[in-house]
């Protein structure tokens, strides 16, 4: 049985672990610094197995070494956004946590694929890649799957149509400069440009860019977790089952889209081994400029954390 380890058994980590368990496709280990908490949540999830028809093993630990023998490692450990707090403000706090976890992954699970979730997500993926020394294929960041799901939900809500039929893609870094691509959004193959006017599309794109903050402002004590946890689980499933889904993920670019040595959300084929291929869409000059601007924000964050990594 494959195994996924989730670092951080808080809101996002526990949701991800529970979704994975419910899909009955891998054993799951949650690791957290809070004594007893990952163990308690693991026991609770196992007790939902008889009711939800799953029998995989779910375990909790406070020992980083428990990530050994994992195929995929999801990193959600760290601080979450509070109202009025920018993702970049989390940077200083979360870099030490993610670097420590990355060292443990390098030591105990050197063949795993890392799915980075901790914010600021693109910069933390850079930290994990630098510290582990893993090839770029094995360090992928989760944000585009979530941002695209938000865009899909908003489109379905606006049109009063099934969200299952809506397909959409959001690229760029996970921040206010992310790049929704409405011309690639469809409802059962019908472009949304045929179904709503430009003003509505602009409104939904803007709501998507601010989708995380909208929930932070409502919750007041933390940030979103149902859709983020499920998005990370979706990526684990694509990797474990070699589903080769075309998904927007944050990966280190190597000249694609005219960008190099920077993590940025782009469409990739996700399957065994992690990122199998970066797919280069023919973006318009304006879309390319937006993507470049978004990536430059991430590059700035990468330069800020670089001194902490030597």
Q: Choose among 182, 155, 188: nearest CA to 169.
A: 182
Q: How far apart are CA 75 and CA 119, in angstroms?
A: 10
Contact map string, positions 226 to 265, toward ligand 2OP, x by CB under 6 A: --x-------------------------------------
State how far the Cα of 121 lies from the Cα of 115, in Å rounded to an integer.
10
Q: Name the residue number minimizing CB distance to ligand 2OP.
A: 212
Decide whether 146 or 201 has the Cβ nearer to ligand NAI: 146
- Over the window 54 to 83, marking each residue x when it contacts ligand 2OP by CB under 6 A and - when it does not, the resulting string is ---------------------------x--
Closest residue by beta carbon to ligand NAI? 10
Which of these ranges, 26-34, 162-170, 189-197, 221-229, lies near ligand 2OP under the rule CB under 6 A? 221-229
Residues numbered 199-238 forming contacts with ligand NAI, rule: CB under 6 A: 222-225, 228
Q: How far is the CB of 181 from ligand 2OP (least distance, A)?
A: 18
8 binds ligand NAI (CB under 6 A): yes
How many binding residues for ligand NAI (CB under 6 A)? 35
**Catalytic residue flag (residue 108):** no
* Cβ distance to ligand NAI smaller for residue 8 or 182: 8
Neighbours of 310 (CB within 10 A): 5
Q: Which two tokens stand for residue 76?
A: 């959600």
Residue 250 pairs with which residues in a beta bridge? 141, 265
| H or E segment and range at residue 5 | strand 3-7
Q: From ligand NAI, ligand 2OP, none, which one binds at residue 30 (CB under 5 to 8 Å depending on kind)? A: none
> Is residue 162 exposed (0-12), middle (13-18) or buried (19+ Cβ within 10 Å)?
exposed
Question: β-strands 245-254, 260-271: how paired?
Answer: antiparallel
Buried b (16+ CB within 10 A) or exposed e, 38-66: bbebbeebbeebeeeebebebbbbeebeb
Q: Which residues contact 170 (CB under 8 A, 6 or more apart)?
A: 144, 147, 148, 150, 151, 178, 179, 180, 181, 208, 248, 265
Catalytic hit among 108, 174, 245, 272 = 174
Catalytic residue annotation: 174
Residues that bind ligand 2OP (CB under 6 A): 81, 87, 119, 174, 212, 215, 223-224, 228
Residues that bind ligand NAI (CB under 6 A): 7-13, 31-34, 76-81, 90, 94, 97, 100-101, 117-119, 121, 142-143, 146, 174, 222-225, 228
């Amino acid at each position: 049985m494959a195994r996924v380890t989730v670092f951080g058994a808080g809101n996002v980590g526990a949701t991800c672990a529970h979704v994975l368990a419910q899909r009955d496709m891998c054993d799951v280990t949650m690791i957290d610094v809070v004594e007893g908490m990952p163990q308690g949540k693991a026991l609770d999830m196992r007790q939902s197995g008889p009711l939800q028809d799953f029998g995989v093993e779910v375990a909790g630990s406070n020992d980083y070494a428990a990530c050994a023998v994992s195929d995929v490692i999801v990193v959600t450990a760290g601080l979450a956004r509070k109202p009025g707090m920018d993702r970049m403000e989390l940077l200083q706090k979360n870099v030490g946590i993610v670097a420590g976890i990355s060292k443990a992954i390098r030591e105990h699970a050197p063949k795993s694929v890392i799915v980075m979730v901790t914010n600021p997500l693109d910069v933390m993926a850079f930290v994990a890649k630098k510290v582990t020394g893993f090839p770029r294929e094995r360090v992928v960041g989760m944000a585009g799957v979530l941002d695209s799901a938000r865009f899909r939900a908003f489109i379905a809500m606006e049109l009063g149509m099934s969200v299952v039929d809506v397909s959409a893609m959001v690229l760029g870094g996970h921040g206010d400069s992310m790049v929704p691509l409405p011309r690639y959004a469809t409802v059962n193959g019908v472009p949304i440009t045929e179904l709503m006017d430009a003003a509505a599309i602009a409104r939904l794109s803007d709501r998507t860019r601010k989708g995380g903050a909208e929930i932070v402002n409502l919750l007041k004590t933390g940030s979103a977790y149902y859709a983020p946890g499920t998005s990370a689980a979706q990526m684990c499933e694509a990797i474990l089952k070699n589903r080769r889904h075309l998904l927007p993920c944050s990966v280190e670019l190597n000249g694609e889209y005219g960008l190099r040595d920077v993590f940025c959300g782009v469409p990739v084929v996700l399957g065994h081994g992690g990122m199998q291929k970066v797919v280069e869409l023919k973006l318009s000059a304006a879309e390319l400029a937006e993507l470049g601007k978004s990536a430059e924000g991430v590059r700035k964050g990468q330069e800020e954390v670089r001194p902490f990594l030597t």
